[in-house]
């Protein structure tokens, strides 16, 4: 009898410890890697910016609290070892509720359907505990071997993890947005530009954050078209987008450009006009304005404004060759196309510049040859995007025609 009791205790101990380790690993990884950005945003909104959320510390604290809840539930329920994992259901339920946060919930705090789902689940849970205690109340030595005890617990944990993981409905783009925001706050601008860089999915807010990070690095006109641009100049700056939930606000971006945007300014175009007419503008302001013209495909105005902010006089050697990538690409489209294929910027009868970057000119030639090689419009758009999607040439020619995988995504 003592041997059997000792065996049962060892088996029960192994089940408790293994389930505890699996739960804590899942909880920490889920909170730190998958839902940390959501919780950081929620804490910022609910505390009105007074407190901040540390992803690592928050994941540890919440995991420990949930484990304590499980320990209390385990003592109260006195579940048989075979069904020990059921004691994690309340903790898993709390984890699901805590992480099921979206923009709507943050704007107007609410538990949503959890107000009736959670009580219903807990009622069913009580019935399950009573049933498990009654069915497994008797002792059967053969039924208490390690294998028959572990498998039911691991299966229960698997389904609980699956249920929690499938609860949040937050999109990938929203996670990208929140992560980029946090990295910007930490002044890790290069890392912010890499968030979601391989995805075609984006939204206006995420694009604005990426462009702000590029500007902080001094690379906005150089890398502008490395990212999907679905919103024109509004994806660069929108002074009317002033939600309180933004940790990186439009005011922060405007301060980077030289001055806050007053409440009397109701359009981004007016903001640029006032800024560039004053002495408070800087090179970042100029690049934002010039890039906004490119994004709106206003090449004539772009060409007219460019010399105001970049010295392109003959006294500056290779002035045109030193321009950022997006500007050089735009100028080739504005000049004579036949001459542009030879690397010459010709306007009317005047040759303004000759680009000497052989790779740059060769890429422009290949782009034009690729366009001509496809008769089907859809195939042309998709093929040229795969090869030249990070150029202004593709954006100017085809961004309005994009369909399928290149269509606007959120």
Mean local confidence (pLDDT), 2-15: 71
130 and 248 share a domain? no
CB 108 within 8 A of CB 54: no
| Tokens read off for 34 | 């998958």
Of the residues 139, 169, 199, the one at which a domain ends: 169
Q: Which residues pair with 350 in a beta bridge?
A: 347
200 and 337 share a domain? no
Q: What is the pTM of this model?
A: 0.87
**Which positions ≥6 away from 13 have C-beta within 8 Å?**
none
136 and 28 share a domain? yes
153 and 42 share a domain? yes
Separation CA 10–CA 16 (nearest Å): 10
Residue 24 C-beta-side C-alpha neighbours within 13 Å: 15
62 and 156 share a domain? yes
Quickly state the pLDDT bin for 141 (edges 50, 70, 90). Answer: very low
Q: For residue 101, is it within any domain?
A: yes
73 and 157 share a domain? yes
Q: For residue 302, is it within any domain?
A: no
Q: For residue 84, is it within any domain?
A: yes
130 and 50 share a domain? yes
Residue 142 has what pLDDT? 45
Q: For residue 204, is it within any domain?
A: yes
Domain of 216?
171-296
Lowest mean pLDDT among 110-119, 131-140, 175-184: 131-140
CB 22 within 8 A of CB 150: no
404 and 331 share a domain? yes
140 and 197 share a domain? no
Per-residue pLDDT tens digits for 9-19:
787 889 999 99
Output the 3-class SS for 222-265: HHHHHCCCCCHHHHCCCCCCCCCCCCCCHHHHHHHHCCCCCCCC
261 and 394 share a domain? no
Mean local confidence (pLDDT), 67-73: 97
Q: For residue 314, is it within any domain?
A: no
H/E segment holding residue 344: strand 344-347
Q: For residue 304, is it within any domain?
A: no
Q: Look at residue 107 and tell me whether its pLDDT is greater than 70.
A: no
Residue 3 has what pLDDT? 53
Q: Which residues pair with 344 in a beta bridge?
A: 354
Name the more confident of 70 and 78.
70
Burial category of 402 from C-beta neighbours within 10 Å (exposed 0-12, middle 13-18, buried 19 and up): buried
Domain count, the chain: 3
9 and 154 share a domain? yes
Going from the C-alpha of 397 to that of each of 79, 115, 140, 333, 402, the distances in angstroms are: 67, 51, 76, 10, 10
CB 344 within 8 A of CB 350: no
Of the residues 125, 145, 169, the one at which a domain ends: 169
Q: For residue 162, is it within any domain?
A: yes
Lowest mean pLDDT among 3-7, 105-109, 306-310, 361-365: 3-7
Q: How far apart are the first and last CA of the chain?
A: 64
Q: For residue 313, is it within any domain?
A: no
SS3 of residue 140 by DSSP: coil
Residue 72 C-beta-side C-alpha neighbours within 13 Å: 8
Per-residue pLDDT tens digits for 225-241:
999 999 999 999 999 88
Per-residue pLDDT tens digits for 332-347:
998 888 999 999 998 8
178 and 240 share a domain? yes
């Amino acid at each position: 009898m003592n041997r059997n009791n000792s065996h049962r205790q060892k088996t029960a101990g192994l089940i408790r410890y293994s389930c505890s380790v699996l739960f804590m690993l899942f909880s920490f990884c889920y909170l730190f890697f998958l839902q940390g950005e959501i919780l950081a945003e929620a804490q910022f909104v609910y505390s009105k910016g007074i407190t901040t959320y540390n992803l690592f510390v928050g994941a540890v604290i919440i995991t420990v609290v949930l484990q304590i809840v499980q320990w209390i539930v385990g003592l109260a329920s006195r579940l048989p070892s075979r069904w020990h994992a059921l004691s994690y259901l309340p903790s898993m339920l709390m984890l699901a509720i805590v992480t099921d946060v979206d923009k709507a919930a943050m704007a107007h705090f609410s538990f949503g359907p959890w107000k009736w789902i959670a009580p219903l689940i807990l009622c069913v849970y009580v019935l399950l505990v009573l049933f498990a205690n009654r069915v497994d109340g008797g002792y059967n030595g053969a039924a208490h071997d390690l294998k028959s005890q572990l498998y039911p617990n691991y299966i229960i944990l698997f389904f609980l993890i699956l249920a929690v993981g499938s609860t949040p409905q937050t999109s990938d783009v929203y996670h990208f947005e929140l992560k980029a925001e946090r990295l910007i706050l930490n002044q890790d601008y290069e890392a912010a530009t890499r968030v979601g860089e391989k995805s075609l999915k984006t939204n206006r807010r995420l694009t604005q954050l990426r462009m702000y990070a590029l500007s902080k690095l001094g690379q906005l006109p150089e890398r502008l078209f490395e990212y999907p641009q679905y919103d024109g100049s509004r994806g660069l700056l929108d002074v009317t987008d002033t939600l309180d939930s933004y940790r990186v606000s439009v005011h922060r971006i405007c301060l980077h450009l030289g001055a806050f945007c007053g409440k009397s300014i109701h359009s981004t175009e007016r903001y640029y006009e006032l800024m560039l007419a004053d002495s408070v503008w800087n090179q970042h302001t100029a690049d934002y304005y010039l890039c906004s013209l490119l994004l709106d495909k206003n090449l004539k105005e772009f060409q007219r404004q460019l010399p105001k902010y970049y010295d392109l006089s003959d006294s500056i050697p290779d002035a045109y060759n030193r321009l950022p990538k997006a500007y050089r690409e735009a100028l080739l489209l504005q000049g004579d196309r036949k001459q542009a294929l030879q690397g010459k910027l010709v306007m009317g009868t005047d040759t303004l510049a000759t680009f000497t970057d052989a790779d740059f000119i060769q890429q422009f030639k290949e782009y034009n040859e690729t366009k001509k090689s496809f008769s089907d419009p859809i195939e042309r758009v998709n093929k040229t995007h795969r090869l030249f999607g990070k150029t202004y040439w593709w954006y100017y020619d085809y961004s309005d025609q994009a369909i399928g995988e290149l269509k606007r995504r959120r």
